[in-house]
Amino acid sequence: MINIEKHIETFIFHPEELTASEKLDVEKMISENEECRMLADWYGELKREIDAIERQKKKDRPSSSAIEMVANEQAKRKQYTFRLAAKTPAENNKRMALKTLRTFISKEEGAIVRFLQGEHDSDIQIHAISEKIAPDDVALITVPGLDELLISKPGGIFELESSPLVSDKIQSWSSCTLFVPVDRLDILVEEHTGNVFLDSHQTNKDELDIGFEEKPECFELHLTTSEDYTIQKVVASCGGEGFLLGIESEVVEIPKSIIKGRLTSIFFYN
């Protein structure tokens, strides 16, 4: 039954890998055997679900990373203070209260970026909200007067402890630029054996092909893009931390030292 099951799986998912004779044999098994028919129905439903996810993924990922954000002048005239969660322990309430310094919007892209500061400290937070940022996506932002590219936690929240940003300057900004990922690849490391697997179900294979090579100190991603599709920035997200990776001649190096835990997500931006 193992060989039969494998043939049915191939028949549903990759029929081009079977010869004409093998296809006829599988079709006959499905038509004559109730168990084979149930198995084919199950694989067929699974394929439809996977195809639906692929279509949704391609629909949701934007074609361009950069979103130009402009200051919301109405929000500038009124400051807001709120707490991150209603169930915050009493001893942490002071630390968690945040004041809105500046709000930036893009009506065209349906995005909002808020710069926030703790009421009782100088730490700055940035909250980026957009349908183009999934709960586990990493966003990037550039701001006036700062050369450094800021990297968010998963979900679009930037936590800047001991930040060089000053609240007075933030309140004078007229714009900033938000970057959302246009593509993604997940690297999974088997905990006990150290074996590495690539999960590319969220990668737009029509635009980006990724080759993988393991070296002693790093992993290399070899990118091949379509004619109008370019990758300019790459970020690795692991354990809640984001790392900007170098990209040269469409080769990305991922140091093994930053990979901690089972899952590392690689985000691509243009």
Question: Which one has a higher pLDDT value, 224 or 50?
Answer: 224
Query: What contacts 146, CB < 8 A, 6 or more positions away?
Result: 164, 165
Find the DSSP H helices in the chain. 2-13, 20-32, 34-60, 73-76, 93-96, 167-170
Tell me: do 195 and 224 sit in the same domain. Answer: yes
- Tell me the mean pLDDT in the region 90-98: 50
If residue 106 lies in a helix (H) or strand (E), which one and from where to where? Answer: strand 97-106
State the amino acid at position 259 in one-letter form.
I
Q: How confident is the model at residue 74 (pLDDT cuts 50, 70, 90)?
A: low
Region 55-65: what's the mean pLDDT?
66
d(CA 151, CA 35): 52
Q: What pLDDT band is residue 143 in, cutting at 50, 70 and 90? A: very high
Exposed e or buried b per residue across 232-263, where buried means at least 16 C-beta atoms within 10 angstroms of its C-beta = ebbbbbbeeebbebebeeeebebeeebbeeee
Residue 88 clears pLDDT 50, i.e. is over it: no
Domain boundary pick from 19, 39, 60: 60
Assess whether 70 and 166 both reside in one domain.
yes
Taking residues 225-231, report their average pLDDT. 88
Q: Is residue 28 located within the same domain as residue 106? A: no
Of 144, 179, 214, the domain-final residue: 179
> How long is the chain?
270
Instruction: Let me know whether 151 and 195 are in one domain.
Output: no
The region of weakest confidence among 7-11, 174-178, 188-192, 240-244 is 188-192
Provide the pLDDT for residue 203. 84
Q: Which tokens hold the place of 80?
A: 């807001």
Which residue stretches of 66-155 are H helix?
A: 73-76, 93-96
Q: Are residues 241 and 262 in the same domain?
A: yes
User: Could you tell me if 161 and 70 lie in one domain?
Assistant: yes
Q: In 139-256, which ranges are continuous DSSP H helix?
A: 167-170
Q: Taking residues 106-111, what's their average pLDDT?
A: 92
At residue 52, the pLDDT reads: 66
- How far is residue 237 from each of residues 143, 171, 198, 243, 244, measured CA to CA in Å? 21, 30, 15, 6, 9
* Domain end (from 60, 76, 107): 60
pLDDT of residue 267: 96
* Distance, CA of 31 to CA of 10 (rounded, Å): 17
User: What DSSP line would sit under 50-67, residue for residue?
Assistant: HHHHHHHHHHHS-S--EE
**Residues of 5-20 as b/e, b for ≥16 C-beta within 10 angstroms?**
eebbbbbbeeeeeeee
If asked whether residues 90 and 149 sit together in one domain, one would say yes
CA angle 90, 95, 100 (to 5 degrees): 120
CA distance 22 to 10: 10
**Would you state the pLDDT for residue 156?**
94
pLDDT at residue 42 greater than cutoff 60: yes
115, two tokens: 């710069």
Regarding whether 137 and 158 lie in a shared domain, the answer is: yes
Task: Give the pLDDT score at 93.
Answer: 40
User: Is residue 212 domain-shared with residue 122, that is, in the same domain?
Assistant: no
Take residue 154 and report the two structure tokens written for it: 């998963």
The owner of tokens 């954000």 is: 69
Q: Is residue 111 scored above 70 in pLDDT? A: yes
Pairing type for strands 183-189 and 196-199 reads antiparallel
| pTM of the shown model | 0.70
Q: Is the pLDDT of residue 159 over 70?
A: yes
Domain identity same for 151 and 168? yes
Is the pLDDT score of 250 beyond 60? Answer: yes
Looking at the structure, do residues 166 and 72 belong to the same domain, yes or no? Answer: yes
Mean pLDDT, range 223-232, rounded to an integer:
90
Encoding tokens for residue 122?
Answer: 């100088």
Tell me the three state secondary structure of residue 260: coil
212 and 123 part of one domain: no
Q: What is the mean pLDDT of the chain?
A: 83
Provide the domain limits for residue 39.
2-60
Number of domains in the chain: 3
